Amino acid sequence: MRRQLLGLGLLCAVACGSPPPAAYVSESGQAQASRLKGDPLEAARHYERAAALADKPRDAEEARYRAADAYAEGGDAARAEALYRGLAAQGEGAERRARADFALADLFETTGREAEAQTERDRAIRKNPDFGVARDALSRRIAYLEAHGGPTRVLAYLDDLGRALSTSELGEAIAYQRARELDNAGQTAQARDAYLACATAYPYPGGAYWDDALFRAAEKELTLGAPDRALAHLQRMLAKQESASFVGSYQRGRYAEAQLKIAEIYRDVLHDPARARTELRKVWQNHPSSRLVDDALFQEALLARTAGDQAGTCAPLSIIVRQLPDSRYVPCAHLLCSELAESPRACHDYIKRAAGLP
């Protein structure tokens, strides 16, 4: 038994790793205490001493990174820069080198070295496109270019970046941001094409912008006078939800909105109120937890009322009253369907006006 316990201890020492030196732990604790006291420069010095005492490269690099952050916070930009540059050049882990690259750009920005910050941020993005922080850096780079050159400069930058990084983790964000920039510039057809290209290149389920790109492409089709193509893009999105429902599918942010948009196209563009009512009901049927459910059901009731269908008017309102008692439409339900009990709350005037109620 004793021999087995000794064996387990040796295995743990190998697998779990030995604890860091006591002196390292002490300096790290003092660094944290100094930061809590509001003395970042003292914290930085403790972190540097901890780095010197660490027996593992990973611990030493983490301590140096925290020291650089503390020096930056305390106003010693020169020391912070030296540490960041050292980590970026010699750090063992790719993630730590990437963090140092992006942190160096942030340091330049906060100390008023804007031109150097932009150069460093662009270099960091191109060098480290597969790290999560690159997306935030890209957004900040775009914002700067937008403010100092407008859409033309942003598009030129994204075109160049896309050619270099299309196969990286950042490729999808670049493609999507390019479509958004075309959209903001009023280039409707080009934006539509770019959204569709993004959705095709980075499809469900991996594409982070897939549903948003299809939704925005549908909006552009409506602007271009092509409702049938808009419907096709929205139905393409919802088809993925339906095909995945048998094995479990998480809800994409645009699913319920896409279903509501389909109903609105049938109602407002194709002037098919009967089909619109069917599509409005699907918001409740297929997306019962969506914040859009009560809007869709109320709009369905209004269409039924216009068609002179009293039973069809009461049916969606009954769902609202029973299933969504906190909805803003509950106090208005009795005004459209006398079979439903009156609410102690008053129907808002703006809802009355929109519904044509007295």
Task: Write the secondary structure of the chain as one string of H (helix), E (strand) and C (coil).
Answer: CHHHHHHHHHHHHHHCCCCCCHHHHHHHHHHHHHHHCCCHHHHHHHHHHHHHHCCCHHHHHHHHHHHHHHHHHHCCHHHHHHHHHHHHHHCCCHHHHHHHHHHHHHHHHHCCCHHHHHHHHHHHHHHCCCCCHHHHHHHHHHHHHHHCCHHHHHHHHHHHHHHHHCCCCCHHHHHHHHHHHHHHCCCHHHHHHHHHHHHHHCCCCCCCCHHHHHHHHHHHHHHCCCHHHHHHHHHHHHHHHHHHCCCCCCCCCCHHHHHHHHHHHHHHHCCCHHHHHHHHHHHHHHCCCCCCHHHHHHHHHHHHHHCCCHHHHHHHHHHHHHHCCCCCCHHHHHHHCCCCCCCCCCCCHHHHHHHCCC
pLDDT in tens, 102-120: 999 999 999 999 999 999 9
Reported as a pLDDT band with limits 50, 70 and 90, residue 9 is very low
Q: Domains of the chain (ranges plus CATH)?
A: 24-128 (1.25.40.10), 272-358 (no CATH)
Summary mean pLDDT of the chain:
91
Give the pLDDT confidence of 69-94 residue by residue, as tens digits.
999 999 999 999 999 999 998 756 67
- pTM of full prediction above 0.85: no
User: Would you state the pLDDT for residue 243?
Assistant: 52
